[in-house]
Structure formats: structure tokens, C-alpha cells
Homo-oligomer: A and B are copies of this chain.
Amino acid sequence: MGDSRATEKTAISPRREQDFPEWYQQVVRAAELAEPSDVRGCMVIRPWGFGIWENMQRHLDAMFRATGHRNAYFPLFIPLSYMQREAEHVEGFAKECAVVTHHRLETGADGKLGPAPSAELSEPLIVRPTSETIIGATYAKWVQSYRDLPILINQWCNVVRWEMRTRLFLRTSEFLWQEGHTVHETEAEAREETLRMLGVYETFVRDYCAIPVFSGSKSESERFPGAVETLCVEAMVQDRKAIQAGTSHFLGQNFSRASGIQFQTRDGKQEFGWTTSWGMSTRMVGTVIMMHADDDGAVLPPRIAPTHVVIIPVTPKEDTRAAVLEACDGLAAELRRARYADAPVEVEIDRRDLGGGIKNWDWIKKGVPLRVEIGPRDLQSGNVAVSRRDQPVKAKEFMPQKDFAARVPELLDTIQQNLFSRALEFRDRHTRVIDSRDEFYEFFTARNAAKPEIHGGFALAHWNGSRAVEEQIKNDLKVTIRCIPFGEAEPGRCIFTGERSARRVVWAKSY
């Protein structure tokens, strides 16, 4: 994707094509998005990375509100016994969680601080890996009658799923997310909600993160533990692997039965509520990087960038310094009066006492959409030098300063559109309709096994619906069904067994 400059020096080393996983870590570090902490598996999200997440939160939250949801907050801890209420759920989550066993520390006989034996909890608590069970226990108290429904609540919080091998944003023991939890009177309403929230994610990922997705449902083996149906949006990033960008679960009555969420129906009977849950996490920040970044660092879609325009004063001589800085302040003030994505344009002036080249490269690596240099010569000409992050890093366009502020929203829109178009073109180029087992195996096999190599993509292929086939493919190729897409069915024959298939499904390697 983008221009390949195999021989030219790039800001990030290694380049994508050399070692994609290492390139990713280097971009995250160079852009100052996040870094590992001393606590195993936990990351520090730095201000630039957190600013992206805050913008994601702001836009998603507005969409949740517009669809009738309100935010609330439930406990961090879940009693051990709650986890056991839903049989599949405990299987899925109990294996990788942080267990709180004591509520006090004390200095032992050896002079060392440790858990106080007298403060052992009678029932251990689990740090929430997801909140279906603890929220369900509360909803059971709130719901008595059909008049109490629907309950439409979302929570923004941290969750913990213990991980041994971690990767910044994509897989960490602690991460941030939102989890929506709703209860409905009928199955139809709950299914409609599940679909509605998937639609919110699809819109958000496309229109804000500039990433095209396939949406559909998961096969049984990839479902959320305890769900009747799991819907998802799946993106293809630059190593052609899939990342699940958001999921929405129809939980049927499984969790309401486990938690006792029961209500009196309109005709006076007792029934269990129909519940859903849906979530998107800080993994999305990593997805955006894997999708849009290049060999010079992050490339941020303007609608989620913490800063839209950085102004870099060029002050080679002391006698013109004050005038240059004044011009920068004036331009920043003017830009901040303009609006983009429902908020004022975010502008930063880089006043650091460093050379212009270093500053410029720092902002390239951070992926800020527009960079503007103002120096003594520009003051005379009345021009500013504008660089777009979606164009080659050395490209500059000179434009009259008086026009620039008015043009910024349009420039940002153009960049946003451009990133989406590139991503779509990339995905389509690496999505292949495959009708034979041999072609499928070849598609997912690196040509040179000795050398890391980006290959494969999304395969659209027929499948007989059997779990055994999924297992086989996973074992052979590490390829799984990412989703069973919505839309018109096209019947055919399973490429592995020759059996009937109702529709093509999306296969890929995945994160």
C-alpha cells in the first residue's frame, strides 16, 4: 500500500514488507501512542494514543446516545460464583483472569510486605473480563414488568484478560472498552438491537476510522461464550490479516436465565428477558495504525486525530523570530474558529527549541493530518507551506495564508476520503473468490517459508457448515472463518467436501 521506496531510508525501521509485526511495534513507539509497562501484560497509553481513543469515545458515545442508550457504571469485581452461572461463559473466561484473594497487606515476620493471612476473602473476586454476569445480577433487580423494558445501557471501562504474549493495543492483559448491555421484551427486539449496534460499529469504523469492513455473523466455533449469535465487523489490515473491529451478541435468554432477569409479560405470564451485549475496545487504535500507517509512521484519519493541524515555526534568525511566532499564533487562532467533525479544529504550535527537520519528522511519525511551516520568507510572500500526511512526506503545497483556514475542513475531508479509498482498494485487491481447495491452500501459503512474507488476504469460499472442516483448515493454515456475511445467498458447493453450501464465507488469518 502507498509508494514502495525500497531503497530510500524511512523513518520506521524495519519497513512493513520486511517485518510487519516489528514495524507495527516501532510505529506505536515512534508515534508515542503507547508503551509496555513494568506490570506484565499492561500497557501505558500515552497522551497521543489516548487522544485517539478519546475521539473514538466521543463519536461512538454520540451514536449510542442517538440510539437511546445511556451510560452507567458497574463494579470492577465479579464474585467467583457469578462466573459459574453461565456454563459456557465460565469456560470461556475463567482461564485467564486476575483473581483477588486478599483485601489487606501487612509486613510479615520476615519484614516483607505481603497479603495479610487474616484478610483472605471468603469468596475470591475476579477482575471483570466482561460484565454480563455482574450487570445481569443488577438488571434482575430492576426488571419486574414489561413496563421496565427495554433497558439500554452502556459502560465505558477497563477489563482484564490475562495474556502471556502481548502486543500493544491488540492484545494486552488490561484494555479499555465499552460494553453495551440491553434487555428486551421480545426476541425480535433483541435481534433488532444486536443488528442496530453492529450497524453503529460499521458506520463508525467506515466513516471515522476510514476502514471498510465485512459484516456478518460468526460461525459457532468463534462465538462469544454463552451467546446464541455473534455478529461482527472484520477489517483487513496491511499484512492482509483480519482484525475484528467490533462485535454485537444476541444472547437469547441464556444470561437472563442464569441471572434471573424475569418479567411479567403483557398477558400476565413470567418470562425471561432477551438480552444483548456489544463492545469495541482500544484494539481499534491498533487497527487504525495497522490499516493506515506507512514506513514513516502513523497516518491518522482526521476525524479521530487528536490534532488536525500542527504549525511549525521556522525561525532561523533571532530578529525575525517574534514576527514568525506572532504569525503562527494568529493562524492558530483563526484555525480554531473553524469546525471539523462537530468540534473546533484542533491546532498545535510546536514551539520546542529544536531544529525544524526534527520537529517535522516527529509530526510525520505521529501522523498528524496537516503540517504547516511558517518562516520569514512566508511572512513576506503571504504564503504557508502545507504538507498532507496522506501524500509523500516531502510534498509541500504553497497556498495563501488568508485562504488556508477556510480550506482546512475541506482538506481534512479530502484526506479522510483518500484514506478510506486506499483502504478499500487494498482490501478489494486482496479479497479473492476461490472455488478450489488447491487454490485456497496456495493463497494462504507463503512462497518462501524461510522469510517473513505478507501473503494471502480474504478468501470468499463455499463451506459445508461443519466444525470439522473449520478445525482442519485452522490446523493446516491458521486460517479461520472471519464471518458469514450478510446479503444475498449464493448457493454452491463446499470447496473442501463438495457438499452443498448456502453461501460463501470469509476466510482469513487473523489477529
Contacts and interface: CB of A to CB of B under 8 A. Distances in A.
A38 B105 CA distance: 24
A72 interface: yes
A339 interface: no
Given A70-B47, A124-B115, A42 B76 contact: yes
A16 to B, nearest CB: 27
Contacts of A44: 72-75, 138
A50 B352 CA distance: 40
A39 B103 contact: no
A469 interface: no
Interface stretch (A91-99, A219-227, A249-257): A91-99
B104 A96 contact: yes
Interface in A93-121: 94-106, 113-115
Contact of A77 (B46, B75, B98, B147): B98
Given A73-B176, A77-B174, A174-B77, A162 B104 contact: yes
A90 B104 contact: no
Contacts of A39: 75, 77-79, 125, 134
A475 interface: no
A495 interface: no
A94 B113 contact: yes
A42 B73 CA distance: 10
Contact of A153 (B47, B99, B105): B47
A99 B98 contact: no
Interface string A35-62: 1011100111111001101100000000
A501 interface: no
Contacts of A436: none
A70, A105, A174 pick with most chain B CB within 10 angstroms: A105
A472 interface: no
A83 interface: yes
A63 to B, nearest CB: 16
Contacts of A415: none
Contact of A113 (B50, B72, B84, B137): B84
10 contacts: A35-B138, A42-B77, A44-B72, A44-B73, A53-B73, A98-B103, A99-B102, A103-B162, A147-B352, A157-B158
